[in-house]
Amino acid sequence: MKHSSIIESIGNTPLVQIREIGQEISQVKSGRVRIFGKVEFMNPGGSVKDRPALRMIQEAIKSGQLTKDKMILDSTSGNTGVAYAMIGAALGYQSELVMPPNVSLQRKKLIEVCGAKITYSSAFEGSDGAIRLAKKLLAESPEKYFMPDQYNNPMNPQAHYDSTGVEIWRDTDQQVTHFIAGIGTGGTVMGTGRRLKDYNRQVQVIAVEPDDSLHGLEGLKHMATSIVPGIYHEKELDEKISLPTEPAYHMSERLAKEEGLIVGHSSGAAMVAAFQVAQRIKEGVIVALFPDHGSRYFMD
Ligand SMILES: Cc1ncc(COP(=O)(O)O)c(C=O)c1O
């Protein structure tokens, strides 16, 4: 496949059937329920966030909000930062990313290697502290920055409406019955869910969140104790499943060991939810979205 830029390889990620995990459930064993993972680490920046980052940047260039004399500024728990840094480098824009210091080393290195700047927010204020600091930087020097603001930019869910949802519908041969994704900004679950419901109102859209404000599921938000993103509309969801950290970690290990899918902890969380849904339905096609690669979580 030939591309004129790496950004053309964003999207069209594989949909992979989960073959071993879930075999203890009779409807899975018999094939009446099938579970698939949408493997987003196959994007060139290594995560699902390449999709919204590209769309928000492209729209801003089109509308004139992002010009060559401005930097891309945003708050990010890591994966969006890698996406901005990679896409910015490919298109010739500088990026400055605001994040708490506890973000994994891998992600910080990936951002720096693309030439982007990292500004640290308070370790005690989590992703909300990063949002506040990015807003303050923008207010102080509006002429210097373009802030995509992934939590409030409608192009974030729109990217998924126009790509992720279309791909899942196509690759399940229009058979998908349940779509499951974690909530960070809510862009993935909202945009993909909306597209799938436009195809078929019966598709169940299920969000996954940590069950407590203190959790280890990087990239995911506990909604009750977080700033609710402007793009997140809970009433559009059919269900929200709250999970503790430990089973999600365990499930991401199982995905690597039993399926060869080396995915991150939020993928483990989506798979735990998929397992729960598989247990309670008689038949269906469940798609769980796996946001990133497991190597992003290796400690050194
Ligand atoms: C590892 C990980 N999982 C899940 C998500 C959630 O994606 P979204 O922001 O589309 O809700 C993110 C987003 O930041 C993430 O980094």
Among the residue ranges 30-39, 47-56, 120-129, the one predicted with the least confidence is: 120-129
Quote the mean pLDDT of the chain: 96
Active-site option among 38, 49, 108, 221: 49
Give bridge partners of residue 242 from the DSSP assignment.
209
Pick the catalytic residue from 47, 75, 127, 266: 266
Task: Delineate the domains of the chain, giving CATH numbers in brackets.
Answer: 6-47+157-297 (3.40.50.1100), 50-146 (3.40.50.1100)
| Nearest residue by C-alpha to atom 4 in ligand 1 | 219
Residue-wise pLDDT for 253-271, tens only, equals 999 999 999 999 999 999 9
Strands 15-17 and 178-182: unpaired
Reply yes or no on whether 267 is catalytic.
Answer: no
16, 4, 1, 11: which is closest to 171 by C-alpha? 16
* Distances, alpha carbon 155 to alpha carbons 12, 13, 69, 159, 229, in Å: 18, 20, 22, 6, 13
When pLDDT is cut at 50, 70 and 90, the band that residue 77 belongs to is low
